Amino acid sequence: MKKGSKILSLVFAMLFSLAIFAGCAETTKTMTDREGNEFTLPKKVEKIISTAPSNTEVLVDLGLADKLVAVDKYSADVEGINKDLPKIDFRNPDAETIISLQPDIIIASGHNKVGDNDPFQLVKDAGITVVYIPSSYSIDGIYGDIEFIAQITKADKKSKEIIDNMKKEVESIKAIGDKITNKKKVYFEIGSGSMLSSFGKETFLNEMIEIVGAENIFANEKSWISPSTEAIISANPDVILTSMPDINGVKAVDDIKSRDGWGSITAIKEGKVYSIDGNSSSRPSQNIIKALKEMAKAIYPNEYK
């Protein structure tokens, strides 16, 4: 039997099952996901598929790890999940495999989409609820993501605890950062290779640099950028941060310190190049607090002890 026929058979089987249990499977009111799509939430959410590590981290801290039936391959290192869970490539999701797992809901990411095509259309046609959470560009947006995941999984009480703890940590660090007048200039490198990668405003990482009392050298740029070497040297950052563990087999910090032409940069001359945890600084979840603390201590070691 061809793969397409197998998928259609699974779709029909799911629809048939839904029809049989329509009388007892009550649903809540229609809701809107974080992307603005309408969906109907199942009355019971016992089987969840997460398609992004940030969402997986939120689900784990909400106490819902045992409800996960599959995750994306990048969630493999998330602490608290069953390491034997199926790992699925959600850029090219296998509808047959996903439908066979019979999830109640799929919590998807904006990163799963390529263009306007919905990779989960066949899954939706099988009657499975899919919600989208685009990557948030602010800390407030992350709070909203956590609240949304908690709302659809009925874990609101736990989410309030998580968000309150985050706000307390942010406010504590900001209280110190607001008093810093001689602000250090920071370059944060999130990628290298043929093109360097960093960020400007409208990103939670830029917001984090400002919270600790520093200035992003690319704060006038927007979102994710590929700066030139010349622009970095000209900006002359006081501190350089990197979220990469290594570059071509060399520790990222050592690679940055040894780059041709970078010797005139203040951060290089003074040895102020630091590594920041890659996962907590790149995943929009409650774990950004870990990266925020690391950034604060790296930039202002005397102020944040």
CATH architecture of 3-135: 3-Layer(aba) Sandwich (3.40)
Cα end-to-end distance, the chain, whole Å: 64
Confidence of residue 198 (pLDDT cuts 50, 70, 90): very high
Q: 126-155 pLDDT, tens per residue? A: 999 999 999 999 999 999 999 999 999 999
Confidence of residue 92 (pLDDT cuts 50, 70, 90): confident
Distance of alpha carbon 290 from alpha carbon 57, whole angstroms: 13
Rounded (to 5) percent helix, strand, coil in the chain: 40, 20, 40
Instruction: Tell me what the pLDDT averaged over the chain comes to.
Output: 91
pTM over 0.85: yes
Q: Indicate if 176-299 has the same CATH topology as 3-135.
A: yes
Pick the CATH number of 176-299 from 3.40.50.1980, 2.40.50.140, 3.40.50.1000, 3.30.428.10: 3.40.50.1980
Distance of alpha carbon 255 from alpha carbon 250, whole angstroms: 6
Higher pLDDT, 274 or 1: 274
Domain ranges of the chain: 3-135, 176-299
Percent of the chain with pLDDT over 70: 90
pLDDT surpassing 90 at residue 93 = no
Confidence of residue 21 (pLDDT cuts 50, 70, 90): very low
Per-residue burial over 21-42, b = 16 or more CB atoms within 10 Å of its CB, e = otherwise: eeeeeeeeeeeebbeeeebebb
- E strand or H helix at 77: none
